[in-house]
Structure 1
Amino acid sequence: MHFTLGSPWFLLLLLLLPCFFWCRETDRSFYVSKLDWAGKESSLLSWKQWFKILIFTLMVIALTKPFVYESEGNQYKKGRDLILAIDASGSMAQSGFDARNRFSSKYEVTLKLAKTFTQKRYDDNIGAVIFGTFAYTASPLTYDLEALEYLLDMTTVGIAGESTAIGDAIMQSIRTLSYGKAKNKVIILLTDGYHNAGKYSPKQAVAEAKKLGIRIYTIGIGKKSDYDAALLQTIAKKSGGKSYSANSAEALSAVFSEISKLEPSRIRGENYLNQRLLIFFPLIIVIGLLLLWIFRQERGRE
């Protein structure tokens, strides 16, 4: 366990402590018949003064937000840099992919299952690339799964054009992965079509991925006759990944379940783990001291 302060600058208030001795209260006049009866107690020896100092110090400590946190694992998370490259071309608007909801398009079902997949990957740094005629990064690598889902929900079929640029999708995924620090980098490519657009060929993109040690898992959506199964198998094989086919929502869910068993790696994570605030301890002591002060004042009046 480690100890630290959330707002250490509040400690500057302790510079006011000398005021308890040097700053005088408003002058008040007292009349006594003999000077010998007047007390000559020094403020340095007054228990009341030190009592006030203790209460003030404890309140300052509470303002600094002290807390403890675990040191184990606070520098790293186990996981990988992972990109979902999702086809949003015109053919993904076809319905009937999900037997329980035949009115949903292939794209809608794919997004839904992709979000379910990411929700269980707490240790991975995940991003998303959407592609059609061109490819773009819909979400950079992030641990914020809610933000990732929000950004995916903003995408629609045709947002990147009607064609299918598989080569560009892989290259854009590689660019997005370049900002991550994990040793294990993975692309999950989902498509229901043939490569027929874009600046880069799948061969160029796969060669670049292989050079950087990035594995590509390919998933063909729909009937095998609808997409280039041979190309997807080649992409996966040459990059060290695996190729899957999913002709239904149920099959796609099973594919995601298998991919979720990828081996984890270490990646930089949050600064503090299992943070526990200690602010209540000084506050409880302050409340106890104030109650004691009130009790002594009441007894002094009796």
Structure 2
Amino acid sequence: MINFENPYALVLVLPLVLIAVYLHFKGYRKIYLNMFSYYNPLIKIIKKPPEKDKRVSTLLLKILLVVLVALSLAKPYVVVEKIVEISAKTELEELSIAAKPAVVIAIDVSGSMADVIPGGRKIEVAKTVVESFIKKIPMNVDIGLIAFAGHIVESVSVTSDREQVLKVVQRLRAEGGTMYTYPLTSALSALRPYRAFNISAILIFVTDGLPADLEYRKILEKYAKLKIPIYTIFIGSQESGIKETKLIAEKTGGKQYTADSAEKLLEVFNELANTVSKIAIKAKTEVKLTKRITEKKYFSLHLLLLSAAVYLLLCYFKYFKTRLTF
């Protein structure tokens, strides 16, 4: 739909057309003869008036010229929509969202996490290595935390506030059963918005037990569809637990780790910290967002160019056809 930024200019069309018609039929003889008879008295002697159809041609061109000029003054435009690509490094703040990769750590705090492995109790070892991991990863990575047992025990939304996450980690205690559905669903909700903007997001899933709810496997399809890999860490050496966590990693494009000691768990988290760092570096250079914007497309310049063409054509008819200069 065509709009006008200065619609009042359209009011000029009719008066200008009337003036052009008047000057064409009445004014040209008075003005032309009065102006030039002083220089050449014989100018009033017109042997042969211009042919009627030729005068009509110039009249139509004058009317067209007047209309085009009035339209250009009215500044016609159309509103168009387009999708633009936005660099995460330069313009992301305009979208009120930080283009930072997101990592959510889901840690099992069920009763079995109070058991001992070489190096200490599982829960205490896990807390120590998770704290180290959080401090080690780049600051341009957002972090979230979910502590789960038979339900969600603690939850910290994805944030850049590392201290907030660390405080929750420090107060974790081991008690309760093990359910995978709740933490996986909660983590998916936290990471989905990042993937909507094509921002990298991963889940680190730490557990030492088998789930009491195998229905959780249906959720893995959603992770795979959104391309959110799950890196699983099974604390212990139980074959069934290793197999279950390997299934989760394989279904989502992640990787499975097994840690049967404090040293091994620290090694695993150090490797994951390196993985996250690589993702963060890649995000700085490659993450791009798109947004839909509207803009006005003006036609004034086109109309002025067309007016110039009409004016030149009018000059041609006046000077080479009718032999008049008005």
Give the TM bin, normalised by the shorter chain: 0.5 to 0.7
State the 4+ residue runs in structure 1 displaced beyond 4 angstroms.
Answer: 72-79, 179-182
Report the equivalent of 1:133.
150
Provide the TM-score with structure 1 as the length reference.
Answer: 0.56
- What are the within-5 Å matches in structure 2 for residues 140-155 of structure 1? 140-155=157-172
Q: 1:179 to 1:150 in 2, by over 3 A?
A: farther
Unaligned stretches of 5+ residues in structure 2: 1-88, 289-326
Give the drift of 1:179.
4.8
Spell out, residue by residue over 1:203-249, the C-alpha distance to the aligned partner (whole angstroms, 9 max, x if none).
11211211221110000002234x61111111101100000000011
Instruction: Considering fraction of residues, name the structure with more helix.
Output: 2
Contact 1:80 1:182 in 2 (8 A): no
Tell whether 2:99 aligns with 1:86. no
Report the equivalent of 2:273.
260
Equivalent position amino acid for 1:84 in 2: I
User: What SS class does the counterpart of residue 260 from structure 1 fall into?
Assistant: helix
Contact 2:202 2:229 in 1 (8 A): yes
Specify which of 203, 213, 230 is matched with residue 243 of structure 2: 230
Equivalent position amino acid for 2:136 in 1: K
Equivalent position amino acid for 1:261 in 2: N
Report the equivalent of 2:174.
157
Greater relative contact order structure (CA < 8 Å, 6+ sep): 2
Tell whether 2:188 aligns with 1:174. yes
Report the equivalent of 1:17.
none
Spell out, residue by residue over 1:25-44, the C-alpha distance to the aligned partner (whole angstroms, 9 max, x if none).
xxxxxxxxxxxxxxxxxxxx
Q: 1:139 to 1:96 in 2, by over 3 A?
A: same
Tell whether 2:203 aligns with 1:187. yes
Unaligned stretches of 5+ residues in structure 1: 1-71, 269-302
CA distance in 2, matches of 1:193, 1:248: 15
Q: What is the Cα-based RMSD across aligned positions, in Å?
A: 2.5
Equivalent position amino acid for 2:116 in 1: S
Spell out, residue by residue over 1:134-193, the C-alpha distance to the aligned partner (whole angstroms, 9 max, x if none).
1355211111111110122232112xxx11112322111111223546611100000000
CA distance in 2, matches of 1:106, 1:129: 17
Q: 1:145 to 1:245 in 2, by over 3 A?
A: same
CA distance in 1, matches of 2:163, 2:124: 17
Q: Which has the larger Rg?
A: 2
Equivalent position amino acid for 1:245 in 2: T
User: What SS class does the counterpart of residue 82 from structure 1 fall into?
Assistant: strand
Specify which of 102, 107, 130 is matched with residue 114 of structure 1: 130
Contact 2:99 2:199 in 1 (8 A): no
Report the equivalent of 1:242.
255
Tell whether 2:221 aligns with 1:207. yes
Contact 2:117 2:260 in 1 (8 A): no
Equivalent position amino acid for 1:207 in 2: E
Equivalent position amino acid for 1:241 in 2: G
Q: 1:116 to 1:182 in 2, by over 3 A?
A: farther
Contact 2:108 2:207 in 1 (8 A): yes
Contact 1:80 1:125 in 2 (8 A): yes
